Chains A and B, each alone.
Chain A
Amino acid sequence: MAIDGLIILDNAGRVIAQSGFHSFPAAYPLLHIDALNNALANASRSDDVDPVLYVPGINLDTPSACCHVKRGDLRYLCPVSGDVDPLYAFAFLQTFVDILHEYFGHVSAETLKENFDVVYQLLEETLDAGGHPLTTSPNALRDIVLPPTLLHKVLSVAGVSGLATSSANSHPFASPIPWRKAGVRYNNNEIFFDVVETLDAIVNKNGTTAVSSVWGRVESNCKLSGTPDLLLTFSNASTLNDCSFHPCVRLQRWSRDKVLSFVPPDGKFKLMEYRYTPVSASSLNQVSVPFILRPAVKVEDHGGSIEVVLSSRLTTRTMENVFVELYLGEGATGASCLASHNASWSFNPRTLSLVWELKTVVPSASYTLRGTFTSSNEMPRPSRAFRVRFEIPQHNFSALKIEQLKLTGETYKPYKGMRGNSLGDIEWRW
Chain B
Amino acid sequence: MAALNLNMLTENASRLGMRLQETLSEHTRDLAIARGTGSAYLDNPEEKVKNIAKQLDSNSDREKLEAMKRLIALISRGRNVSEFFAQVVKNVASHNLEIRKLVYIYLLRYAEQEPDLALLSINTFQKDLSDPNPLIRAMALRVLSGIKVPMIGSIVVLAIKKCAADISPYVRKAAALAIPKIYHLDSTHQPELINIICTLLKDQSPLSIGSVAVAFEAVCPTRLDLLHQHYRRLCRTLIDVDEWGQVDLLNLLIRYARVMLPRPIPSNESGSNTQFEVDSDLRLLLTSAEPLFQSQNPAVVLAVARVFYYLGPPTDLPKIVPPLLRLLHVSSEVERVILTNLVLISSTVSDVLAKSYTHLLVRADDSRQVKKNKIQLLRSVVNADNYTSLLREFICYADDADDDLVADSIQAIGYIARIVPESTQQCLTALMSFIQSKHDVIVTNAVLVLKSLVQIRMQQQQSIIALGGLPPQTFSPLDIISRLARRIDELRHPKARACVVWLVGQYAASLPTTENGHTPLGPEGIAPWAPDVLRKMAKSFQQEASHVKLQIITLAAKLLVLNPSDRTIGLLNRYIFSLARYDLDYDVRDRGRTLSALLAGVNANIYGENDDAHEDVGGVVLRREQVRVVLFEGKSNPAEDVAKDGKQHFSSSTSRHHGKQTHAYIAAEDDHGRFGSLAAITGRWTGSDNYLPDWLEEGTESSLRDSEADMPQVLAYTSQSSTAARSIAGPAASRASPVILTPTGRASPAGSIVRQEGTKAAYMDLDKFYEDTEETEESEESGSEGDDDSDEEEDEEASGEEEDAAARSPGGGSESSGDEDESEDDSADENSHLQGTTR
* A contacts, CB < 8 Å to B: 1-2, 15-17, 20, 22-23, 45, 47-52, 54, 62-65, 67, 69, 80-88, 90-92, 94-95, 104-106, 110-111, 113-117, 119-121, 124, 128-130, 132-137, 144-154, 156-157, 159, 161-162, 165-166, 169, 172-173, 176-178, 185-187, 200, 202, 204-205, 210-211, 213, 215, 227, 229, 231, 242-255, 261, 263, 270, 273, 275, 327, 329-330, 379, 381-385, 387, 408-409, 427, 429
Contact = CB atoms under 8 A, between A and B. Distances in A.
A80 B809 CA distance: 38
Contact of B108 (A20, A65, A147): A20
Contacts of A177: 833-834, 837
B540 interface: no
Contact of B299 (A87, A384, A385): A87
B222 to A, nearest CB: 16
Contact of B72 (A63, A117, A246): A117
A177 B822 CA distance: 12
A85 B678 contact: yes
Interface size class, chain B? 35 or more
B363 A151 contact: no
A359 B512 CA distance: 70
Interface in B659-712: 673, 676-679, 681-691
Interface stretch (B395-403, B444-452, B737-745): B395-403
The 4 closest A-B pairs by CB, nearest first: A250-B811, A114-B38, A150-B28, A149-B25
Given A22-B146, A385-B363, 5 more contacts: A129-B146, A149-B28, A156-B37, A250-B811, A385-B364
Nearest to A406: B815
A211 B396 CA distance: 14
A63 B684 contact: yes
A204 B391 CA distance: 13
A379 B439 CA distance: 8
A46 B503 CA distance: 41
Contacts of B714: none
Contacts, number: 360
Contacts of A69: 331, 333
A51 to B, nearest CB: 4
B264 interface: no
A382 B399 CA distance: 9
B258 interface: no
B810 interface: yes
Interface string B107-137: 0110010000000000000000000011100
Contacts of B323: 242
A135 to B, nearest CB: 7
Secondary structure class of chain A's binding surface, majority of residues: mixed
Interface in B783-830: 806, 809-812, 815, 818-819, 822-823, 825-826, 830
B433 to A, nearest CB: 14
Interface string B244-259: 1001100100000000
A73 B299 CA distance: 25
Contacts of B336: 50-52
A51 B109 CA distance: 29
A69 B331 CA distance: 10
Contact of B297 (A67, A91, A186): A91
Contact of A227 (B329, B331, B826): B826
B756 interface: no
B364 A22 contact: no
Contacts of A47: 332, 365, 367
A168 to B, nearest CB: 10
A87 B337 contact: yes
Contacts of A327: 364-365, 401
A211 B78 contact: no
B177 interface: yes
Contacts of A270: 296
Contacts of B214: 2, 130, 132
B98 to A, nearest CB: 5
Nearest to B25: A149
Nearest to A254: B294
Contacts of A210: 358, 361, 389, 393
Given A114-B38, A177-B833, A383 B678 contact: no
A161 B98 contact: yes
30 contacts: A50-B367, A51-B337, A63-B684, A64-B686, A65-B681, A65-B686, A85-B299, A87-B299, A88-B299, A94-B331, A124-B105, A133-B244, A148-B34, A149-B24, A156-B62, A176-B834, A210-B389, A227-B837, A231-B815, A244-B301, A245-B296, A250-B811, A252-B809, A253-B811, A261-B811, A330-B401, A381-B439, A383-B364, A384-B396, A384-B397
B21 interface: yes
Contacts of A247: 242-243, 295-296, 838
Nearest to A263: B837
B361 A202 contact: yes
Given A117-B72, A202-B363, A82 B687 contact: yes
A136 B65 contact: no
